Amino acid sequence: MNILQILPQLNFGGVETGTIDLAKRLVKTGHKAVVVSAGGKQEEALTASGIIHYELPVHKKFLFSVIYSVRKLKGIIRDEKIDIVHARSRVPAIIGAVAAYLTETTFITTCHGYYSKHIFSRAMCWGKFVIVISNSIGRHMVDDFNLPLERLRLIWRGVDLEQFDFKAPVEKEGNWRTIGMIGRLTPLKGHKVFIKSLLMVIKIMPAVKVLIVGDAPQDKIKYKQELKSLVNKLSLDKNVEFMGETQNIAKIMSRLDLLVLATTAQEAFGRVIIEAFASGVPVVATNVGGVSDIISDGKNGMLVAPGDPRAMAEAILKILQNKKLSASFIKEARKTAEANFDLEIMAKKTIKVYEEALAIKRILVIKISSVGDVILVIPSLRALRKKFPDAKICVLVGLKSRQIVQSCPYVDEVIVLDGPNGSFLFKLFEVARVLSSYKFDIVIDHQNNKISHLLSFLSWAPSRYGFDNGKLSFLLNHRVRFVGLQAVNPVEHQSKVLGIMGVNIEDYSLELFPRESDFKYIDKRLSEEWLSEEQPLVGINLSASAKWQTKRWPLENFIRLSSELARENIRTVLTGSEEDVYLAEKFVTLSKVKPVNFVGKTSLLELAALIKRCSIFITGDSAPMHVASAMKTPFIALFGPTDPKRHLPPAKDFFLIKKDFKCMPCYKRICLNPKCMNEITTEEVLDAVKKRLS
């Protein structure tokens, strides 16, 4: 794999050290490691290890700087053939996410701290996977940024244990003991609390030397002076030494008898604790944030409440005065470091996340139109599952169509675009927000309209496939020309899109997946109508949809057909939606025979079970025609204003009845003289039924 890590700078700190350590391990295990930063004090050490480094101003928040960095990073990703972009801070995450999106590259983030609820902080949630360095950081990302748990990966920081000389517990000569505090000189690190605790410690154990390691950032120079003034004020200047910044933490650890971490705010992790564990140095730390992931109080170290100098002093004295307790902590701490916090463990877990991110695709299929059109997507879903057996496949459908795919074995999750309650624009962008939280790798737009193109784009999926229809299709980055594809089988139409991503639809047949309870409901209702299982049953779908009056065969024709079938001892069953109830009532009133009336009385899957029970099903160009095809029930398709080449579902056992007029297909929803449907005779349909039943 070719991995690019991006972070603000390469100075001394946990983020920088972790980046370099991982890059070295990647190179060692045969991967390519590239680091992008604004440079810093550790840049030379990085390049000396054979790691490629590019210097960009990725630490600057200015808009033009971000745009410049995105453009440059795109070139780096392409030139280095990067597989994964891994961001470790907020501005680099924004730059890395946009560049990865534009180059169709997998993007991952690692959260190293507690981020404010600022809009820029949300960039840390943009990764396909979000690595957190402690349980407390994980809770922070879930609670404060609504990060889905399924995208969260916990990987504790690791330390190269071989760099630290472990000091086994031995009897130390002399009375002097050395306490260390290592970290940046900022108020959050609790230096003042620590210094105040020393006043109590030194009263009981005067022979204590204190090393404060670390320097103040440019904006905290005044704080450094405050600390020195506090030391002088408490007359601790003979005991306390400010050592400034150092690269060699292992050398410092070799001098210590105790490490103290006095942070008063939530600590993301506490890498220095692991370094102390590796060196055989006992630890007293405040119980904040990720520290509890490392220290088990009273077993491998001691935890105290933050901001409490007295509690800290008591813990320090307890360890320094109790050699047996100190030795016990040292042994357990080393075991903890080896079991959980070795650099090799961190590297292996991170590489595993990389492999998972590349291997497992997240795919969204968009089909938010009518029920029949959603049924036609089943062959595409089946082909996608075959091509990507381990992928997470989601489908975005309308509210009425959700039943079709909820029980589909090729789908992992159904996302519903609800009807227009309230502001449609607001609802559209709310759906887009939900889609973006899934971090899809691929979107397949089978809807092919302006709304679906917009949702594809707003999902932030790097790869977006669909037809070039000349509307908003420029929002898709993989397009098939739409011209000349109109008059083809609807499933073949979809295959053109899947074809450009290397997926072949080998089986065009439709499927639906009614449950056992659906079949039981239909059997019960049919038995109540005194219908035996041996008696032929002919299904009649009375309508198409309220918007397509021109697709309807005249009701009186259906009534005559039902009467003719009754003479042959053949029962008819009426199907339709709630909108068609008035037609069914009119049918029953005018007909001399009694049909089985299921109009408006079934769910979609119950309708599928009912059609499965039919010997043959008669319908116009409508969703139940697709249901019949999916349930392998022979059907008679009555076509008028629409083109059967475009709308007939794939099926082997069907009869197509249509008339030929110059105006066909017209695709008019309203027509004063719909002769294309009116001139289909009852005799023609009856003859087709008899042929099939014989």
End-to-end Cα, the chain, rounded Å: 64
| Cβ-Cβ contacts under 8 Å for 207 (sequence gap 6 or more) | 174, 175, 176, 177
Name the more confident of 640 and 98: 98
Which pLDDT score, from 0 to 100, does residue 529 have? 82
Q: If you count them, how many residues does the chain have?
A: 694
pLDDT digits (tens, 9 = 90+) for 261-277: 999 988 888 889 999 99
Q: Span 346-361, mean pLDDT?
A: 94
In this model, does residue 422 exceed pLDDT 60? no
302-304, strands of its sheet edge to edge: 240-244, 208-213, 177-182, 258-261, 283-286, 302-304
pLDDT number for residue 265: 87
346 within domain boundaries: no
Please give the pLDDT value at position 319: 93
One domain, residues 592 and 550: yes
Output the six-digit token pair for 210. 């204190």
Between residues 167 and 229, the one the model is more confident about: 229
Cβ 616 vs Cβ 635: under 8 Å:
yes
Say if residues 89 and 71 touch (Cβ distance below 8 Å): no
pLDDT of res. 453: 92
Mean pLDDT of 447-471: 90
Tell me, yes or no, whether 16 and 35 share the same domain: yes
Residue 386 has pLDDT above 50, yes or no: yes
pLDDT band at 485 (very low <50, low <70, confident <90, very high): very low
Q: pLDDT confidence of 313, banded at 50, 70, 90? A: very high
Phi, psi dihedral angles at 556 (to 5 degrees): -65, -30
Same domain for 532 and 673 = yes
Average pLDDT over residues 77-101: 95
Q: Over the stretch 233-248, which tens digit does the pLDDT of each residue have?
A: 999 989 999 988 877 8
- Has residue 349 been placed in a domain? no
Domain-embedded: residue 419: yes
Q: Please, what is the Cα angle at 328 between 323 and 332, to 5 degrees?
A: 150
Same domain, 26 and 95: yes
Q: Residue 10 domain-assigned? A: yes
Q: Are residues 146 and 7 in the same domain?
A: yes
- Summarised one tens digit per residue, pLDDT across range 136-158 is 999 999 999 999 999 999 999 98
191-204 vs 221-233: helix crossing angle, rounded to 10: 20
Strands (E), 197-323: 208-213, 240-244, 258-261, 283-286, 302-304
Give the least confident one: 12-21, 206-215, 298-307.
12-21
Q: Are 607 and 574 a contacting pair, CB within 8 Å?
A: no
Q: Distance between CA atoms of 419 and 536, rounded to whole angstroms?
A: 39
Q: Does one domain contain both 411 and 337?
A: no
Edge-to-edge strand list for the sheet holding 635-639 = 596-597, 571-575, 537-541, 616-620, 635-639, 654-658
Q: What six digits make up the tokens of 659?
A: 């008339």
pLDDT given at position 473: 87
* Pair 327, 471 in one domain: no
Per-residue tokens: 607: 């309708």
622 located within any domain: yes
Q: What pLDDT is attached to residue 196?
A: 93
Cα–Cα–Cα angle for 277, 280, 286, nearest 5°? 45
* Final residue of a structural domain among 469, 499, 529: 499
Query: Domain residues for 611?
Result: 516-693
Q: Is the pLDDT of residue 420 over 70?
A: no
Mean pLDDT of 584-588: 90
454 in the same domain as 316: no
Share of the chain above pLDDT 90, in %: 58
Q: Can you give the pLDDT at residue 430? A: 85
Could you tell me if 326 and 392 lie in one domain? no
How is 139-168 classified by DSSP, letter by letter? Answer: HHHHHHH---GGGEEE----B-GGGS----
* Burial class of 589 by CB neighbour count within 10 A (0 to 12, 13 to 18, 19+): exposed
Residue 423: pLDDT band (50, 70, 90) is low
Whether residue 199 sits in one domain with residue 120 = no
- Whether residue 673 lies inside any domain: the answer is yes
Per-residue pLDDT averaged across 205-234, rounded?
A: 89
Average pLDDT over residues 213-240: 88
Q: Which of 127-131, 216-220, 380-384 has the lowest average pLDDT? A: 216-220
350 found inside a domain: no
Contact 520/466 with Cβ under 8 angstroms? Answer: no
pLDDT digits (tens, 9 = 90+) for 650-660: 888 899 998 88
User: Helical H runs in 3-62?
Assistant: 14-28, 43-48
Q: Which pLDDT belongs to residue 419?
A: 59
H or E segment and range at residue 224: helix 221-233
The domain tally of the chain equals 4
Q: What is the CATH number of the domain that holds 620?
A: 3.40.50.2000
Of 243 and 109, the one with more pLDDT:
109
pLDDT value, residue 267 = 84
Give the whole-angstrom CA distance, residue 381 versus residue 621: 23
Q: Are 404 and 374 in contact (CB under 8 A)?
A: yes
Shared-domain flag, residues 394 and 282 = no
Mean pLDDT of 30-55: 89
Neighbours of 525 (CB within 10 A): 17
Confidence class for position 421, pLDDT limits 50, 70, 90:
low
The encoded tokens of residue 280 equal: 């055989």
Report whether pLDDT(122) > 60. Answer: yes
Write down which residue in 154, 173, 207 finishes a domain.
154
State the Cα–Cα distance between residues 28 and 40, nearest whole angstrom: 23
How far apart, in whole angstroms, are the C-alpha atoms of residue 407 and residue 414? 10
Query: What is the residue-averaged pLDDT of the chain?
Result: 89
Give the confidence band of 120 by pLDDT, cuts at 50, 70, 90.
confident
Highest mean pLDDT among 68-82, 112-126, 645-659: 68-82
pLDDT recorded at residue 221: 85
CA 268 to each of CA 140, 294, 336: distance values in angstroms, whole numbers, following the listed order: 10, 11, 18
Would you state the pLDDT for residue 181? 94
In a domain, 406, yes or no: yes
Whether 160 shows a pLDDT value over 90: the answer reads no
Mean pLDDT across 343-347? 92
pLDDT higher than threshold 80 for residue 283: yes
For residue 557, the one-letter residue type is N
Residues 333 and 436 in one domain: no
Classify residue 596 by its DSSP letter. Answer: E
Domain boundary among 154, 180, 211: 154
Phi, psi for residue 332 in degrees, rounded to 5: -65, -35
Interval 523-572: pLDDT, tens = 899 888 877 667 789 999 988 777 788 888 899 999 999 999 988 888 89
The whole-number average pLDDT for the span 569-581 is 89
Give the model's pLDDT for residue 195. 93
